[in-house]
Amino acid sequence: MQKKIDSNFLELQVSESITAQEVLQLPEVKKLYNQDINSLRVGVNGEELDGKYKATPANHRMSHGERLEIYRSLNQDPKQRRQNKAKAAKKR
């Protein structure tokens, strides 16, 4: 069963034995990204699956209620953005 929350969030009911990588290969999820699955940065509940401190996506078995996240790069550094905004506000 699939429930579309908005363009960036998708709620799926999957088997608890499914891996994070298998979730990324589902057609509903593939529509959300345009990259090779191996080049994606992904995490579960805010912790990146990098193979160092957490398992890799291929080895992480999803549990009930876990949130799989696909990370994308930022267009602008948030710290620099706040500084630019503060400077602009000072000039007014």
CA–CA distance, 41 with 33 (Å, rounded to integer): 11
Q: Is residue 72 within 8 Å of 44, Cβ to Cβ? A: no
CA–CA distance, 71 with 74 (Å, rounded to integer): 9
HSE-up (13 A, CA, CB side) for residue 84: 6
The strand pairing partners of 70, in sequence order, are 42
User: Mean pLDDT across the stretch 15-22?
Assistant: 90
Instruction: Output the pTM of the full model.
Output: 0.70
pLDDT value of position 37: 79
Q: Is residue 54 within 8 Å of 60, Cβ to Cβ? A: yes
pLDDT value of position 3: 58
Domains and CATH numbers, the chain: 2-91 (3.10.20)
Q: Is residue 14 within 8 Å of 23, Cβ to Cβ? A: yes
Strand blocks (E) in the chain: 2-6, 9-12, 41-44, 47-48, 68-71
What pLDDT digit, counting tens, does each position of 37-79 carry?
778 889 999 999 998 888 999 999 999 889 999 988 778 888 9
Mean of pLDDT over the chain? 85
User: Mean pLDDT across the stretch 7-19?
Assistant: 84
